[in-house]
Amino acid sequence: MGSRIPLMPNTNQNNLLELSLSEQNHQHFKIFKPYGFLSQFVPETRKKKKVLGELFPFPDKIMAIGRLDHDSEGLLLLTTDGMKSFQVRDKGIEKEYYVQVDGEITQDAISQLQKGVNISVNGTIYLTLPCKAFRLESEPNLPARGRNIRGSSHGPTSWISITICEGKNRQIRKMTAAVGFATLRLVRVRIGDIYIDSMIAGEVVPLANFDDALNCS
């Protein structure tokens, strides 16, 4: 009998193997971004703004998935996998925010938020997609913010939950302003099925099963 030629994996099998090994090497984290931090890892030239790289010795090629602006707080997902970043930024992924607004928000204002409101995006008028919005019965249990919000002597405030599947620049703040209520504090508490839970500001938690973030309703 002639010698048997060893079977070699085909190109597709090689690609799958490389993809599997690459996935195993990637790292993912969730972080409670504190007030006053930029959603980046290297400080900008001539600007003394705090950055995420000050909070934890993150691996090379780490990136934030989306962003929270300087004044916003809460859940931010980080990854070394650019494909995961693309998936989470897809419009199918819900992002929930707890929002403290100036004044006692009305049901009419909440109904407007649910249906969509006109905001300015890059100088043009944009109608936001329908979203979930409701008033919270009590103030949520959140870490104290790094900077005090105005006192009660300036009038009442109220808290609402807003869940969107898009992410225009400063969208939540623009939405509440469009219905007559300025945002005083903005905290993201959920992305997909990943929650902020009882994290404190600045805390970093590794994520073993990052695909949980993709399980949205």
Query: Beta-carbon neighbour count of residue 184 at 10 Å?
Result: 19
Whole-angstrom Cα Rg for the chain: 21
Active site residue 69: yes
- Helix 107-115 × helix 171-178 angle, to 10°: 130
Helix (H) or strand (E) holding 125: strand 124-127
Alpha helices in the chain (DSSP H): 11-25, 82-88, 107-115, 171-178
Which 8-state DSSP code applies to residue 137?
A: S
Are 38 and 50 a contacting pair, CB within 8 Å? Answer: yes
Q: Are 67 and 95 in contact (CB under 8 A)?
A: no
List, in sequence order, every residue forming a beta bridge with 186; answer none if it has no partner: 99
Residue from 200, 172, 25, 193 nearest 113 by CA: 172
Catalytic residue among 60, 69, 81, 212: 69
Active site members: 69
